Structure 1
Amino acid sequence: MARGINKVILVGNLGNDPETKYTQGGMAITTLSLATTSVRKDKDGNQQEKTEWHRVKLFGKLGEIAGEYLKKGRQVYIEGRIEYGSYDKDGVKHYTTDIIADDMQMLGGGDRAEGAAPRREYGGGQSRPSQPASGAPRREQAPAKASDFGADFADDDIPF
């Protein structure tokens, strides 16, 4: 019997600084508020922006890293799953939607002058061969440029 797939990929900016709490057992739980914005044209041809806000939770070492390095406004890539929940408060049932992060990558937009870490990838998954077994951050290589290969063309010549 086939299992389902519950996968979420988000790229957005933090709406506030991360909030980290610890369980009695010492495990970090960090909550982020992540904004994603899409643009579309309305019937008159004007561009309309729509921003969606996502509550993201990171656990364990991933939560500790996010709490230490991420700051409001920082762009981040999140990969994880969606989780729905509910709770009763004053006799009223409230519903929640959370993104439970398995992987996180800090992207551009951080202010390095304030001590933000360089672009790194962190993950909680064990099945990723690119992730060191020690859980240490993976160093990113600079992307190759056309001049690195002696190519004699401009970016305008690339079809994408």
Structure 2
Amino acid sequence: MYQQVIIVGNLGSDPEMRFTPSGVPVTSFSVAVNRRWTDSNGEPREKTTWFRVTAWRRLAELCNQYLSKGRLVLVEGEVDASAWLDNQGNPRATLELTARKVQFLGGRGDKGTTPSAPGEGEEFISDDMPF
């Protein structure tokens, strides 16, 4: 079976790159996706859903180089949900997305860009998934 998820949101933290024991680069970062609506009483509402994103190989290197906290991105990939109980016994859950494609959104003047960063709408696709 095949699944594909596309999210658009802002990085909640700077990317963190590490390497597997065999030297494969892996970059992780969080993305906040905001949903806004008006409730039945006419009051504006907002809900933020957090995704933990992992990018591999060349895509990991590019994300680590060009992304930073606050940057708007589109991420396409496969999602996995994990649930657990925290130290106080409260249920917790996370959505983890393995990136296949990351598109850097916004212009060069947006928070998190550098003079050498790819241009607006630049995207990188990785067909070299770790599994």
Report the TM-score range of the alignment, normalised by the length of the smaller protein: 0.7 to 0.9
Unaligned runs of 5+ in 2: none
| 1:78 aligned onto 2:75 | yes
Q: Hey, what's the Cα distance between the residues in 1 that align with 2:70 and 2:112? A: 13
Residue correspondence of structure 1 range 93-112 to structure 2 within 5 A:
97-108=95-106, 110-111=110-111
Q: Hey, what's the Cα distance between the residues in 2 that align with 1:86 and 1:113? A: 34
1:10 alignment partner in structure 2: 7
1:37 alignment partner in structure 2: 34
Residue correspondence of structure 1 range 107-146 to structure 2 within 5 A:
107-108=105-106, 110-111=110-111, 114-115=114-115, 117=117, 118-119=119-120, 120-125=122-127
- Bigger CA radius of gyration: 1
Check 1:29–1:113 CA distance in 2 against 1; reply closer, same or farther (3 A cut): closer
Contact 2:24/2:56 (<8 A) preserved? yes
Q: Hey, what's the Cα distance between the residues in 2 that align with 1:79 and 1:50? A: 21
Taking only aligned residues, the RMSD between alpha carbons, in angstroms, comes to 2.6
- What amino acid sits opposite 1:82 in the alignment? V
Higher relative contact order (CA 8 A, sep 6+): 2
Contact 2:27/2:55 (<8 A) preserved? yes
| 1:23 aligned onto 2:34 | no
Contact 2:69/2:112 (<8 A) preserved? no
Where is the strand percentage greater, Structure 1 or Structure 2?
2
Deviations 1:61-99 (A, max 9, x none): 001100010010000000000124579xx9x9x865310
1:57 alignment partner in structure 2: 54
Q: How many residues align?
A: 120
Where is the helix percentage greater, Structure 1 or Structure 2?
1
Report the Cα offset of residue 116 of structure 1.
5.8
Please state whether the residue corresponding to 2:106 is helix, strand or coil.
coil
Deviations 1:5-63 (A, max 9, x none): 31110000000100111112211111110000011111111110111111010011001
